[in-house]
Amino acid sequence: MSKTALLFAGQGAQVVGMGRDLAEQFPTARALFDRANAALGYDLAGICFNGPEADLTKTENAQPGIFLVSWVVFQLLKERAPGLKFDATAGLSLGEFTALTAAGVMSFEDGLKVVRQRGRFMQEACEATRGGMAAIIGLDEAPTREVCAEAGVELANLNCPGQLVISGAAEKIAKACELAKTKGAKRALPLPVAGAYHSRLMAGAQPKLRDALAAIPLNLPGVPVIANVTAQPHATCGEIHQRLVEQVTASVRWEESMRYLLAQGFTRFIELGPGTALSGFMKRIDKTAQMLNVADAASLAAAVKALSV
């Protein structure tokens, strides 16, 4: 029996128009967008559908927006492919919250609200610091760590072979990009982000997130959920709480997380939410893995067809 893991999109995947065709075509989707608006007390669905882009890219909107669209496509996939069984979940950064919610750790409303709060706390940390991030393409982990140490920045994302992301003070990121090129990086590209995510510059968000998480009930996951911080399954509710707080400043060990699942016999992965970044990473990690994605009505239909074979 092949094992299936659900993978949930992270920040940066947002795009104006996401979810709109789903809300127009599926009553289940429309109802979930309405529920989200009611839970949050503002028109998040409208920002997802119509923008403007400047509003959608604000961390406090992008994070719950991606969570919401990812949750909608998860529910639609279960509805359209009722025989679907999944054996684990994982999510990139904020996607870990969606993965935990899909595994029954928190309710949809609680997950949505805490992700909205997380986005606001991280936005505040961005505004209090002058940070940035850059993608380092074509350089291995060891020399990239040397660059980080020399420039005084941190390794934020270990996404897949040949694609790492660094994070830190803006002026240090510029220096790190130059250093990476001297060490053989094919490219070192500053990213259009609001701040230095997954670095110590985000530490101001942690106590607020800790308090927000303490206010919601957590259940043990119904299937293994892989933690970004450890690249291992979460164990206890207390550990889930702690890892989600740590994750704000810690490295996202995505490649290692996927290699853990592959070693456990997982052969099929379904990316849920806007974009196809996680599918792209998997192609670089293991070309033999079956990869499906669901982001809109067309990809939903394609995934349902593939799952029915």
List pLDDT tens digits, range 289-305.
999 999 999 999 999 99
The mean pLDDT of the chain is 97
Q: What is the pLDDT of residues 74-102, one digit of tens each?
A: 999 999 999 999 999 999 999 999 999 99
Q: What gap in Å lies between CA 126 and CA 123, rounded to an integer?
A: 5
- 3-class DSSP assignment, residue 3: strand
- Residue 269 pLDDT level (bands cut at 50, 70, 90): very high
Domain layout of the chain by residue ranges: 3-127+200-308, 130-190
Residues designated as active site:
93, 198
Helices (H), the chain: 20-25, 27-40, 44-50, 53-56, 59-80, 95-102, 108-128, 141-151, 170-182, 206-214, 237-247, 254-263, 277-285, 297-308
* Architecture of the domain whose range is 3-127+200-308: 3-Layer(aba) Sandwich (3.40)
pTM of the model: 0.97
Asked if the model's pLDDT at residue 309 lies above 90, the reply is no
The CATH number for 130-190, chosen from 1.20.120.1200, 3.30.70.250, 3.40.50.10890, 3.30.70.580, is 3.30.70.250
Asked if the model's pLDDT at residue 1 lies above 80, the reply is no
- Residue 237 pLDDT level (bands cut at 50, 70, 90): very high
Summarize the confidence of residues 177-186 as an average pLDDT: 96
Check residue 193 and give its pLDDT: 86
DSSP label at residue 205: G
Summarize the confidence of residues 3-26 as an average pLDDT: 97
